[in-house]
Chains A and B, each alone.
Chain A
């Protein structure tokens, strides 16, 4: 039994070694605080999954010389944009050069298993004490509700600290346990991301994606005939020796149409335009993860006495811009700063913890999440952006660049007809306005 003298205690406990957790821990440890970072997996990153790419602005904010520390990046993102798929065609809208030629790049394709390990090591270098293979199951609280520690799943598993930063990820059971969010997550606000990591020789990747060498990489969002015309978005990322190819579909959609996620992914990989890109590759990994796409409307209360919430647990995801990892890192940093302030003032009550929310308001995180609060709902209610419009775009461009020996006016009328046949002009105009509203937050 732990007597009061022997009990395990730290200045700060951080729950979860994803992206937010190590950021919070790193910042607090740098200020001289004794920080425990608790991770349920064998190793940091073991349970984490994303599309993806990592944005460097967030990393740089915590580690200005990050490039000297050999982060396990795959390739810089030197070309990014959208691909629009019709049933058998593809229109690409990507950008390269300009800002995408920055050194170091603004984003790098990455695999989480290696990146999160490195990210946590940077925190350990600042003195953070990593406790792996241990799951936090509940909190230790004072009679007035103030959080003063956590209970883990291990025997004699209580750990005490006046500040607990919860970075538990999308499955936010602890956040619920604190009463910071009342309801369980709703399927309509959760996307299931599934992807395959497919191994191909780097030269083949370069040739297939038009990349000049291994120091160039592509990151695209794929719209259209990806998810059977249902709300969902595909993606393709080129890694050093692999491709990350997958898609995200709302859980509610999967349930409603009784779709198996791997069937949708399989169909996407067999698309006549996608199939040749992955042909001959060896499947190394297949996996999936939930993404909290509810955004602002799904955010829990972000603090209570002795506790803060950051990252996916707080629904910090901007689905349209593929932002989430950067928000998690910056939110982690702000939570760490709040913990430092609380220790400085010797006050761990909500009065000081509220400073975390104020910091988030001053950053890009809360303003962005607020602005895009309608986007998830917009996608849900406008499936034509996933089916009709990408198909029309492919047809229209195909027509435009073909010669049929007919007067051009006929061609244009045909193109217009091909749109209005799918969606009436007033409705199309309405769609555009809805999208504007969803993005601009009106």
Chain B
């Protein structure tokens, strides 16, 4: 039976954030928490395939109790089962420690109920690292398709899938064995407006809470702060880029303006560079 797993993260709604001008930290007070938008689109695609093939969708997240609301939202969007990894010892994890905990958990879930597709968003809108998905794939020794925009085909019998991924210039079409891990762009699927019965079920749903105590066994020195070699040196807002010099062509005339621009380029050595290239 088809089984997809979707890893979701709760993030502050960054369309709505403020930076504390003194500390440079994000002001989290009063900022609404949402499901990472890329994860939501990935989940929508997983649910779409479940509706086509039958089977089920499990969502997985790691974070404090407040993340329960995000797992409920996942159930609203069509997930069947939610697992929240929550333990003080997991706190302060960087992408290395996070991928360790997620990979171990996915292994355990896979043993209970074999997984065919593992979905991640392409990145989280708060950290923007895009590292956790690939990290999990490496730890599990799975093929990975990043920046997925479309799943053309899933063939459970033959154990293969055909996926389109976006690159800077074109779309690549890849065929992969299953299970496979994808990190998804928003184009992968539209987020549906859930039917009322699904919403009501989600509001009453309590996800499974997995901790250090079990059901998975974790190495203490690989989780949380202990398992995280990353050190944040400093955080701040980058300075606003200064606009360049401007010249009003109506006042100066076009010839003067071109000369002005050419002189600037010449002084900066750009003209030489271009002419040099032409030779």
**In whole angstroms, what is the CA distance A133 to B200 when docked?**
11
Which residues from chain B contact A154 at a C-beta distance below 8 Å?
193-196, 199
Q: Does B238 count as interface, using CB distance less than 8 angstroms?
A: no
CB proximity of B30 to chain A, nearest CB, Å? 7
* B32 proximity list for chain A (CB < 8 A): 42-43
- Taking a contact as CB atoms under 8 Å apart, the answer to whether A134 and B196 are in contact is yes
Inter-chain contacts of A152 with B (CB < 8 A)? 196
Interface centre among B193, B194, B196, B199 (most CB of A within 10 A): B196
A133 touches B199 (CB 8 A): yes
Chain B window 129-173, contacts with chain A (Cβ cutoff 8 Å), 1 for yes, 0 for no: 000000000000000000000000000000000000000000000
Contact indicator A155/B203 (Cβ below 8 Å): no
In the bound complex, how far is the Cα of B197 from the Cα of A140, in angstroms? 17
* Interface mask (A130-160 → B, CB under 8 Å = 1, otherwise 0): 1101100000000000000000111111110
The yes or no answer to A8 lying at the interface (CB within 8 A) is yes
Q: Which residues of A contact B199 (CB under 8 A)?
A: 131, 133-134, 154
Residue of B nearest to A156 (CB): B195
A114 to B31, CA, bound (A): 11
Residues of B near A155 (CB, < 8 A) are: 193-196
Contact A8 B200 (CB under 8 A): yes
Question: Among the listed A113, A156, A284, which residue makes an inter-chain contact with B196, where contact means beta carbons less than 8 Å apart?
Answer: A156
A129 at the interface (CB under 8 A from B): yes
Q: Per-residue 0/1 for A103-120: is the Cβ within 8 Å of any B Cβ (1 yes, 0 no)?
A: 000000000011000000
Contacts of B30 in A (CB 8 A): 113-114
Complex contacts, B195 vs chain A, CB 8 Å: 154-157
B contact residues around A113 at 8 Å (CB): 30
Prevailing SS type, chain B contact patch: mixed
**B196 with A157: CB separation less than 8 A:** yes
**A155–B196 CA distance with the chains assembled, in angstroms:** 6
Interface string of B186-214 (1 = CB under 8 A from A): 00000001111101100100000000000
Q: Is there contact, CB below 8 Å, between A156 and B197?
A: yes
Q: Which residues 350-370 of A sit at the B interface, judged by CB distance below 8 A? A: none
Q: Report A241 CB to chain B, min CB distance, Å.
A: 10
In the complex, chain B residues 229-276 whose Cβ is within 8 Å of any chain A Cβ: none
What is the CA–CA distance of A156 and B201 in the complex, to the nearest angstrom?
13
Bound CA–CA A157/B197 (angstroms):
8
With both beta carbons as reference points, the residue of chain B lying nearest to A154 in the complex is identified as: B196
Name the CB-closest residue of A to B73.
A133
Question: Interface size for chain B: under 10, 10 to 19, 20 to 34, or 35 or more residues?
Answer: 10 to 19
Minimum Cβ distance to chain A for residue B16 (Å): 11
Nearest chain B residue, comparing its CB with the CB of A133:
B199
Mark out the residues of chain A between 391 and 430 whose CB falls within 8 Å of any chain B CB in the assembled complex. Answer: none
Interface centre among B32, B199, B203 (most CB of A within 10 A): B199
Minimal Cβ-Cβ distance residue in A for B34:
A42
Shortest distance from the beta carbon of A391 to any chain B beta carbon, whole Å = 39
Docked complex Cα distance between A104 and B193 (Å): 44
Residues from chain B with Cβ under 8 Å of A284 in the complex: 18
A157 to B194, alpha carbons, bound, how many Å?
A: 10
CA distance A438 to B200 in the complex (A): 49
| Chain B residue, CB-CB nearest to A285 | B30
Instruction: Indicate whether A131 sits within 8 Å of B203 (C-beta atoms), given known contacts A42-B32, A113-B30.
Output: yes
A411 to B200, CA, bound (A): 73
Q: Cα distance A8–B203 when bound, in Å?
A: 14
Cα-based distance from A113 to B18 in the complex (angstroms): 17
Q: A134: which B residues are within 8 A, CB to CB?
A: 196, 199
- For window 30-54 of B, CB contacts with A under 8 Å fall at 30, 32
Is B196 in contact with A130, judged by CB distance below 8 angstroms? Answer: no
Q: What is the minimal beta-carbon distance from A15 to any residue of chain B, in angstroms?
A: 14
In chain A, what residue has the closest Cβ to B197?
A156
Q: Are B196 and A129 in contact (CB under 8 A)?
A: no
Closest Cβ neighbor of A130 among chain B residues: B203
A42: chain B residues at CB < 8 Å are 32
CB within 8 A of A129: which of B18, B193, B197, B203? B203
- Bound together, the chains give a CA A130 to CA B203 distance in angstroms of 8
> Which residue of chain B lies nearest to A152 when distances are taken between CB atoms in the complex?
B196
Q: Please give the distance in Å from B26's CB to the nearest CB on chain A.
A: 15
CA distance A327 to B203 in the complex (A): 31
**Contacts A42-B32, A113-B30 given; does A159 touch B203 at CB 8 Å:** no
Chain B proximity of A370: nearest CB distance (Å) = 40
CB proximity of A158 to chain B, nearest CB, Å? 8
Residues of A with C-beta under 8 A to B197: 8, 156
Query: Which chain A residues lie closer than 8 Å to B200 at the CB level?
Result: 8, 131
Distance between Cα atoms of A43 and B33 in the complex (Å): 11
Q: Which residues of chain A in 156-200 are interfacial with respect to chain B, using CB atoms and an 8 Å cutoff?
A: 156-159
**Cα(A113)–Cα(B197), bound, Å:** 27
Nearest Cβ in chain B — how far from A395, in angstroms?
Answer: 43
**B-chain residues with CB within 8 Å of residue A159 when the two chains form the complex:** 196
Bound complex: CA A42 to CA B194 (Å): 14
The docked-state distance in angstroms from the alpha carbon of A159 to that of B203 is 16
Distance of A153 from chain B, by nearest CB (Å): 8
In the assembled complex, 17 residue pairs joining A and B whose CB atoms fall closer than 8 Å, in A order, are: A8-B197, A8-B200, A42-B32, A129-B203, A131-B196, A131-B199, A131-B200, A134-B199, A152-B196, A154-B193, A154-B194, A154-B195, A154-B199, A156-B195, A156-B197, A157-B195, A284-B18
Beyond contacts A42-B32, A134-B196, A154-B193: 19 other A-B pairs, Cβ-Cβ < 8 A, are: A8-B196, A8-B197, A8-B200, A43-B32, A113-B30, A114-B30, A129-B203, A131-B196, A131-B199, A152-B196, A153-B193, A154-B199, A155-B193, A155-B194, A155-B196, A156-B197, A157-B196, A158-B196, A159-B196
Residue positions of A touching B, CB distance < 8 A: 8, 42-43, 113-114, 129-131, 133-134, 152-159, 284
